[in-house]
Structure 1
């Protein structure tokens, strides 16, 4: 038996103790420039020490909690990311990725506009369907292929992924929040739709500035405004008037279509004069190699219509498969393929109020996004005519590609679950809730901390959803507002979470540069978080109170 408690009589000092593991990983990454795997491992060890010596959690139970977290990371992150990158690697193997890249380049010769379409719009579609780091990995590689330096490509992909995360995975963070708090998820979705789109409008401008410096804003602002505004308005409309689960899908498609339409009537003043023509493929007398031709491009700079269709086919397969999985009868049938069991050694954990803490390990092997992506990968291999043996070899290469990133994800999830189950996370929340009316300003910060530790917005809502509800009741405030703030605040930590940094560096071949990447994105994360904190605080007052659902 173990009951969560405060390690010290003072809530403030207890919170400082509880924050040590999180501060450890942030300082080691940002100040001492440690590699993510070692920073994650060090913070994990610190969390074990804090749990055992400060919180008096039994040693065996502490390691059980770590194993529980590591196992969850396999289902919620690794299984998803492996299969998403496998699909991408299949397109590279067959040369269809080069065709896809040229199709995106055909939208505009301007790399800054390509960054908007690829990282912002296409990345949002990937986040809507799969999440789990797949947009960061796939879009980073696509940006490198478009001509961006690897580190800059990873920065752009990480920052772009903030816009869709709140509604990612078919609205999974919102659904989890509703489950944890037993309130209507549609209300949370609507309220989040009155916060997140404001930030989404700004993101394309930041991407342009990162891609080519602040001066580029004067030249490309129409495209940035078009993408951000159409994305934000569509996201707001879907979340408030239809279904929050479909918000990102339609926002991604509408924003991409709007930029394409704009590009037909407008070009940046400093746009390139002409499109580069692919070199002629040497060896015309040898046997025709369609894969080599797709990779190098045809001499006339065009691609056959069949190749273009096949280049987009993998993502169309993903869209169709995930959409089918949301249809009532199919969704119910897939949900039956779930195995659950009580994680060994954790049944005796209780919260401070005596309520048992749920430690059931669920394996939704049929309905999880990772499995749907795996099936999509099999269908992709069939469509692209990749044989079973070659597809398996590509999968093995995909696993080797991640290397230390796998270890990082396992460590960080083990860290987050030790902090959560020992009560360290709850301590931080209690301390923040004691700030009274100022808590409305700090509510997004709670979600930000949650994602910084877990790497997922759904995980943050699972950790802090109940805390936000309790704080709202104590302060006689709107629980819908605070819950949405937790969701929206969390998306701004997506770019600094160690596992996403590891995924980004692994995708572009810079494993070990997580600290450098962290410093590149940390400032943007903090600035946008500060803006959101002001917005949420004003929404808790008469100034913007009219925006609150049910207010």
Structure 2
């Protein structure tokens, strides 16, 4: 039985949009006002969205159930698996005692927390975003910063803000490549436009992070180092996105920024060392043998190596249907929603079904498995006893049970919203704003990432709508396609999925409402600024559009 999506169920697009917005509003209220735990807020929201899908959008109950099941499973694999593996790797480092050595080696670069957040949360986080995406970058960088002495909630919030700049090119350019395939626009063109919109944000974010930590005084005291870190990142991001395509900007920009900033810090240090715990630590002497320092870094070097191997075409060939490791891939299809949900204009150019809905379970060919392999290898290198390692893994799973539940619930909410048409209703309402849509275009991407936790999903969900609206307004479509992706990056810091991951990484399970309240105001500020930038480009400097 087919289900044709309804986008204006109440025959008034603004009234329909208000009803479609109610589950999101309920989620906001649950976290900000009622201060409920993440999994409780997620459960209430997904139930309410299911009720609206059934009784307002006339979606069959069995289809709502399948959308819930598919979303929940997708939350478990690959997303939760990435986070479990990443936290397991970090905890092994701590258990072995080598993290203390790694910590001191990092502090030997600079003990200043303001600069460390930029190096680890912003630069290293961008590298991880470019390599693995999902919630891995925030989980790993926040955990490291906590180990370096930052308060858990603080570390998680700052890392979520730092994670905004690289998300558009995350996971080797998949958000842009996926969108390009749907809208039939060259990925290089979208990449170039994103690369021309992001640098102002990229330059601003590190200074903003330092401002949050230590006000204008902090910016003044660290200004040279932040200029070097942010400037080198933004310059390389611009050139790589415009000349190399969408796959490598995050990785290249992050490596250049880390190397250049580290070298700079050999010759310059802030006169006053700032730490969030109020201590003024003197730069520690390297009291450990170089071999021990190397061993301390090996788990994270292995992380980079395994991720690199897992992303190579030759490795992926092994898991294709005729590959030697194809037997390690499992999947099953949700037949009652697979190719049974029909999208109609103006969300798409012509009426067509959403593609096959197949849940894939690649046991080996998954990013989480690459991180887990790095963790297993680290057990031997760090000389952690097998029994202790098993205990660490059990401890990780136990700490992650509620975050995993939260991730599953919010992904269920996302897929119910997407398959029923609730998400499209919100986007269509904003598309009806006429020439003011240049301001609202990135807000659609922001809503998409809030709902799905993924810039890729948001681009796939709303790419065609952005394209069609651009054509109606006579504005180059690549601008709105890029705006969807750039607006989405600042939605990441309030996505329920990201909130759950960040809290799990720093041991704050059940305190998701506190983190959400910390990030939501900044997310709104950023998306408004991006709306202004998009409007300025469209009507004042359209010549920069590819």
What SS is found at the alignment partner of 1:194?
A: helix
Name the counterpart of 1:513: 511
* Counterparts of residues 81-230 of structure 1 (less than 5 Å): 81-230=83-232
Write the distance in 1 (CA, Å) between the matches of 2:332 and 2:177. 22
Match of residue 334, structure 2, among 309, 332, 343: 343
Name the counterpart of 2:344: 352
What SS is found at the alignment partner of 1:70?
A: helix
Is the CA contact 1:125–1:249 (under 8 Å) kept in the aligned structure 2? yes
Name the counterpart of 2:301: 316
CA offsets, 1:14-48, max 9 Å, x none? 11111111111122212322221111111111101
CA offsets, 1:393-425, max 9 Å, x none? 322221112231111111100001001100101
Moved more, 258-267 or 159-168: 258-267
Moved more, 304-313 or 388-397: 388-397
Name the counterpart of 1:406: 404
Is the CA contact 1:335–1:367 (under 8 Å) kept in the aligned structure 2? no
**Normalised TM-score (structure 1):** 0.91
Deviation of the 1:96 alpha carbon: 2.1
Name the counterpart of 1:68: 70
Write the distance in 1 (CA, Å) between the matches of 2:281 and 2:11. 69
What SS is found at the alignment partner of 2:499?
A: helix
Name the counterpart of 2:425: 427
Write the distance in 2 (CA, Å) between the matches of 1:100 and 1:349. 51
Instruction: Quickly say closer, same or farther: Cα 1:276–1:478, change in 2 above 3 A.
Output: closer
Deviation of the 1:210 alpha carbon: 2.0
Deviation of the 1:364 alpha carbon: 6.1
**2:424 pairs with 1:418:** no
Name the counterpart of 2:248: 246
Match of residue 541, structure 2, among 539, 544, 547: 544
Instruction: Quickly say closer, same or farther: Cα 1:399–1:451, change in 2 above 3 A.
Output: same
Write the distance in 1 (CA, Å) between the matches of 2:92 and 2:181. 37
Write the distance in 2 (CA, Å) between the matches of 1:185 and 1:76. 25
Write the distance in 1 (CA, Å) between the matches of 2:283 and 2:313. 48
Write the distance in 2 (CA, Å) between the matches of 1:145 and 1:56. 50
Is the CA contact 1:92–1:98 (under 8 Å) kept in the aligned structure 2? yes
CA offsets, 1:163-212, max 9 Å, x none? 21111111221122123223222222221111122211111111112222
Cα RMSD between the aligned structures? 2.0
CA offsets, 1:193-239, max 9 Å, x none? 11122211111111112222332111112212211111111111111
Deviation of the 1:3 alpha carbon: 0.9
Name the counterpart of 2:381: 383
**2:23 pairs with 1:21:** yes
Is the CA contact 2:82–2:136 (under 8 Å) kept in the aligned structure 1? yes
Instruction: Quickly say closer, same or farther: Cα 1:346–1:458, change in 2 above 3 A.
Output: same
Moved more, 364-373 or 496-505: 364-373
Instruction: Quickly say closer, same or farther: Cα 1:330–1:243, change in 2 above 3 A.
Output: farther
Consecutive unaligned residues of structure 2, counting only runs of 5 or more, are 275-279, 346-350
Moved more, 482-491 or 28-37: 28-37
Instruction: Quickly say closer, same or farther: Cα 1:174–1:391, change in 2 above 3 A.
Output: farther
Deviation of the 1:388 alpha carbon: 4.6
Instruction: Quickly say closer, same or farther: Cα 1:328–1:151, change in 2 above 3 A.
Output: closer
